[in-house]
Structure 1
Amino acid sequence: MTAAPGRSDRVFITGASSGIGAALAREYAARGACLGLLARRRELLDDLLASLPHPERHRIYAADVTDRQAVAAAAADFIAANGGADIVIASAGISQGTLTDRSGDLEVFDAVFATNVNATVATFAPFIATMRSQHGPRRLVGIGSVAGVRGMRGAGAYCASKAAVRSYCESLRLDLRSSGIKVVTIAPGYIDTPMTRQNRFPMPFLMPVARFAVQAADTIARGSSYRVLPWQMGVVAKLLRLMPNSLFDFAFSRAPTKQGQGQA
């Protein structure tokens, strides 16, 4: 159930034009938040803004999340317009199958890490100084993945990038522990989004994206350090973490892979 906010939160979300980012935008708008929404595709941002309650309260920024100067400029504009930010969610992410020896996949590794890892840092960085001076709940939210728990066949770039997001957020949580800013990592399992619809294999415990957004927003409000959604995938993640390498290798060495560059 969607909780009514005690006050109007100021929420900045990257990757906001589709998938998890758009679902979080809709959920926070329903809770009465003032939003800053950043994504590459201006037309999708316009459509999203028009669908939200009180669109005049929100600001959109058409920018590539890997453009650090553009992200910093959007953050500065949002802070100036709203007097700060309460929640910053680095939701932008891309996924593509990769093989280390396949021609062109080194460039794919670069792109995946630039979007999934480096852009998370670039999203948080311009907000921290202002958030340190604020009072009340403050959250920096990284979107990881269950894929970051163990490396999966044919998904080296994506799995490694999401493992990096988790480790980075852990480090940042320690860095900011005395500041009052809480760092939250949300690790989605299979969520019904345009990204997962490209998968060519069964997706257990597939979760509707709107339900994910409700549970993610509640987790962020509590300031939990780490949560896997849906909860069933959290159980799977714990089992994978405990599984000996020999058993893991045997079980997953022939698992289906993500679609790679040039594959139909």
Structure 2
Amino acid sequence: MTVGPARADRVFITGASSGIGAALAREYAARGASLGLLARRRTVLEELQASLPHPGRHRIYAVDVTDREAVAGAAADFIAANGGADIVIACAGISHGTLTERPGDLPVFDAVFATNVGATISTFAPFIAGMKARQGPRRLVGIGSVAGIRGMRGAGAYCASKAAVHSYCESLRLELRASGIKVVTIAPGYIDTPMTRNNRFPMPFLMPVERFAAQAADVIARGASYRVLPWQMGVVAKLLRLLPNALFDLAFSRAPTKHRIDEPRGQA
């Protein structure tokens, strides 16, 4: 059953041009929210805005999420236009295969951390003071990943960045507990998006992105502290976390890896 937000929320979403971010935009627009949609590609954002109910209610920001000042400017504009924000979702993320031994991959590590971790912090920061100053439901939402539960071969940048998102959101949750602001961490499993379609390994419990968005919005409305979606991957994640290192290493040391940026698609 769909719970829905407690009211017509004001929702700010980064990474809104595709995948999970765009699906969340469609879900919240259908629930009557006023949206701030941030991503780099203006044309795609304009197309998304035009496709939503009441397009004039939503604002778009063609901004690189790693540009901290530009993100702060977008946040200030959204707050001024809407009188604040009720839900802020740091959804922007990138994923590339990485190998520490390859010098060419070191800038990729930097880019993944800047987008997945640094931008999450930069997204939340401009909204906290205003959220503290009022009452009512207030949510800061970090999009992590089951990849942040344990490190996987060839995915050091992505796994470590998502583990950092989980830990950062946990710290922030404690810091803001007395204020009444709920910090929600959602760890997607395999969700059918352009990002996961590049994977070259089996993806158990693959979930349609629109179903994910509906369930994620319900989790956010309830103010849950942490949730893995779909729930089946939550069970898998707990089992992986409990698996002794020796067994984990034996099982996954030869697992297929993510594509690296300079790697032809046919290579393993």
TM-score range, shorter chain: over 0.9
Question: Which stretches of structure 1, 4 residues or longer, exceed 6 Å deviation after superposition?
Answer: none
Indicate the residue corresponding to 1:243 in structure 2.
243
Q: Deviations over 1:39-86 (max 9, x none)?
A: 000011011001000000000000000000000000000000000100
Indicate the residue corresponding to 2:75 in structure 1.
75
Unaligned runs of 5+ in 2: none
Indicate the residue corresponding to 1:16 in structure 2.
16
Q: How does 1:4-153 map to 2 (within 5 A)?
A: 5-153=5-153
Contact 2:75-2:126 within 8 A present in 1 as well: yes
Q: Which amino acid aligns with 2:148?
A: G
Q: Which amino acid aligns with 1:146?
A: V
Task: Determine helix, strand or coil for the equivalent of 1:140.
Answer: strand
Measure the CA separation in 2 of the matches of 1:234 and 1:258: 21
Q: How does 1:187-226 map to 2 (within 5 A)?
A: 187-226=187-226
Identical residues among aligned pairs (%): 83
Contact 1:138-1:182 within 8 A present in 2 as well: yes
Measure the CA separation in 2 of the matches of 1:4 and 1:118: 30
The alpha carbon displacement at 1:7 in A equals 2.2
Task: Determine helix, strand or coil for the equivalent of 1:164.
Answer: helix
Cα separation, partners in 2 of 1:8 and 1:171, compared to 1, 3 Å = same
Normalization by structure 1: what TM-score? Answer: 0.99
Contact 1:5-1:32 within 8 A present in 2 as well: no
Measure the CA separation in 2 of the matches of 1:6 and 1:115: 30
The alpha carbon displacement at 1:87 in A equals 0.2
Contact 1:192-1:209 within 8 A present in 2 as well: yes
Contact 2:6-2:221 within 8 A present in 1 as well: no
Q: Which amino acid aligns with 1:188?
A: P
The alpha carbon displacement at 1:2 in A equals 4.2
RMSD after superposition:
0.8
- Compare 3-12 and 157-166 and name the one that shifted more: 3-12
Indicate the residue corresponding to 2:165 in structure 1.
165
Contact 2:141-2:220 within 8 A present in 1 as well: yes
Task: Determine helix, strand or coil for the equivalent of 2:106.
Answer: helix
Normalization by structure 2: what TM-score? Answer: 0.97
Task: Determine helix, strand or coil for the equivalent of 2:103.
Answer: coil
Unaligned runs of 5+ in 1: none
Q: Deviations over 1:198-257 (max 9, x none)?
A: 001111100000000000000000000000000000000000110000000000000000
Q: Which amino acid aligns with 1:179?
A: S
The alpha carbon displacement at 1:6 in A equals 4.2
Q: Which amino acid aligns with 1:200?
A: R
Task: Determine helix, strand or coil for the equivalent of 2:263.
Answer: coil
Contact 2:39-2:65 within 8 A present in 1 as well: yes
Measure the CA separation in 1 of the matches of 2:4 and 2:228: 23
Q: Which amino acid aligns with 1:204?
A: P
User: How many residue pairs get matched?
Assistant: 264
